[in-house]
Amino acid sequence: MGLAEEDLNRRMLRARDVMDRSYAEALDIPSLASVALVSESHFIRSFRAVFGETPHRYLQRRRVERAMFLLRTGDRPVTEICFEVGFSSLGTFSRTFSAIVGTSPSAYRRRGPLPHVPSCFAMRWARPSEHLPATEARQASPSTPGAPSTPSAASTREIAGSGPLLRLRSHDDDFDIELDATHPTSGPAGTG
């Protein structure tokens, strides 16, 4: 990687950091491009090359991730959450949420509060996959002919909890971890 490419990557990271910090504000391409010190069209092309998605799609996904957390941890109305995370229309929020997560915001909320699990596992499990449409991500499995085997395919993750034990299985990464949620310092099963 040359110095020019490293410099461009740093500038794209700066713009992405602004999006992460200010996701609920009205952000536009000209202001983000000025943070990255490039033209608008070059910013869009470069951002996609570096992060694999357009700035608009990244911002939408970031807003939906925050909404997912708010929906499962509180009882505020969906409309209030919609506006808090930066959407200006309930219809756009619902359509975008459904496209990314695979279910409506209300149906997602009905799943109940988030279980107590290590945050690294919860974030990996809950992060919407950009590699699969949401409905396929929930249904695909490695044994399905033609099913993708990307490492970020949330479709093959299973979290089964009975009481304080959490079991995370991954078919595509070939691991099986058991954690005792009642003892935060315990590691994988057998390492206590």
pLDDT of residue 62: 95
Q: What is the rounded CA–CA span in Å between residue 89 and residue 79?
A: 9
**Would the pLDDT of 8 be above 50?**
yes
- Rounded mean pLDDT, 81-86: 95
Element housing 69 (H / E): helix 55-73
What digits encode the pLDDT tens for the residues 124-161? 766 766 555 554 544 544 444 444 444 443 333 434 44
State how far Cα 185 lies from the chain centre: 26
Confidence of residue 103 (pLDDT cuts 50, 70, 90): very high
pLDDT of residue 3: 86
Q: Is the pTM of this model over 0.85?
A: no
End-to-end CA distance of the chain: 42
Domain range 57-109, its CATH number among 3.40.50.300, 3.30.530.20, 1.10.10.60, 3.55.40.20 = 1.10.10.60
- Please give the structure tokens belonging to residue 135: 């409905």
Average pLDDT of every residue of the chain:
75
Burial of 105 (0-12, 13-18, 19+ CB in 10 A): buried
Q: What is the rounded CA–CA span in Å between residue 192 and residue 190?
A: 6
Element housing 167 (H / E): strand 165-170
Confidence of residue 2 (pLDDT cuts 50, 70, 90): confident
Q: Please report where in the chains the tokens 């396929």 appear, as a residue.
A: 136
